[in-house]
Amino acid sequence: MGLVILAVLPGFVDPYSLRIVTGVLMWAGLACAWNIVGGYAGYISFGHSAFFGIGAYVTGILMQRDLGIPFLATLPLGILVAVGVAAAIGGPTMRLRGAYFAIATWAFAEMLMQVAIILDITGGTAGLSLPAYLNEFFFYYTMLVVALLAYLGTWYLLERTRFGFRLKALRDHEPAAEAMGIHTTLVKVQAFALSAGITSLFGSIYAYWVTFIDPRSVMGPEITDQMVVMVLLGGLGTVWGPALGATVLWLINRYIWSELGDTTIYLPILGLIIAMIVLFLPNGLISLLPGGRRGGGLMGRLLRKL
């Protein structure tokens, strides 16, 4: 029923509302990607904005007039670059634990944003323009298909395969997982690369959707911050919790913007939401739904690692 509603929704809403729903789908997909590392592997990453920016810039650079590569052809290239970078930095950083890993990923994202600022190929602080394609239906259905594939793929890989069992085993007790013969570093790097690939895919679509990008808009720390809060709000380590958290949080963001004209007040609201979740709803909103899977204290264990 839900899929039918999403499929026919563009025919019943105005362009502005459709754009908001498209944003919900994008953030739901990004929350799903972060949940692979934060919820299933148990590692807090503050560097996912780097992979979002990689996808955006690969698409932006390749679609410029002098190259003119079609949008769809840029998507696999963006994924390959993001996965390659994630694998390269994942080897050393995934050996770190707790706050050390979180700081390392944050430093990596900041470094990459500074590189994008000084490079000519990225347009520097002046930004990069992409060919305009003013078709909200195209971007809505593209986001919808990619988000559904991300969630279904995540559900299968992390809930139905040995890879998912190994990932959850190292999250619950890494020394015990190693004692059982699980190559924990390899599994963590694989999860990090998978998460990076999905994140870059949404970055590529976003760049074509908004037609203009700059380092701050696609690599700013607030991108990762929102992913983290959406996952915590919806339900850490659950399949559909991130989608619920992304929907609620992004609708709040858009309501504040439309009513107040800016999102400055959104930041303290974000902090208040984090505090309320930790204190009163540690398993996320998904635990309030009938049959919703509880996180089993994942948030508490994750925060204690920091």
Place of tokens 């899977």: 293
Q: What pLDDT is stored for residue 97 in this prediction? A: 79
Query: Residue 263: inside a domain, yes or no?
Result: no
Alpha carbons 130 and 245: distance in angstroms, whole number: 31
User: 5-15 in b/e burial notation, b at 16+ Cβ within 10 A?
Assistant: ebeeebeeeee
Give the residue numbers spanning the domain of 115: 2-220
Query: Residue 297: inside a domain, yes or no?
Result: no
Query: Residue 195: inside a domain, yes or no?
Result: yes
**The token pair that represents 135 in the structure block:** 């078709």
Q: What pLDDT is stored for residue 297 in this prediction? A: 61
Query: Residue 141: inside a domain, yes or no?
Result: yes
Alpha carbons 234 and 2: distance in angstroms, whole number: 18
Q: What pLDDT is stored for residue 284 in this prediction? A: 87
The whole-model pTM stands at 0.93
Total number of domains constituting the chain: 1
Alpha carbons 220 and 14: distance in angstroms, whole number: 30
Running along the chain, 306 residues long, what does each successive block of 10 average in pLDDT? 87 92 97 96 94 97 86 97 95 84 94 94 92 94 97 95 94 91 93 97 98 95 92 92 94 82 70 79 83 59 58
Query: Residue 177: inside a domain, yes or no?
Result: yes
Query: Residue 275: inside a domain, yes or no?
Result: no
Identify the burial level of 170 via C-beta atoms within 10 angstroms of its C-beta, where 0-12 means exposed, 13-18 middle and 19 or more buried.
Answer: buried
Query: Residue 279: inside a domain, yes or no?
Result: no
Alpha carbons 65 and 236: distance in angstroms, whole number: 42
Q: What pLDDT is stored for residue 296 in this prediction? A: 55
Query: Residue 239: inside a domain, yes or no?
Result: no
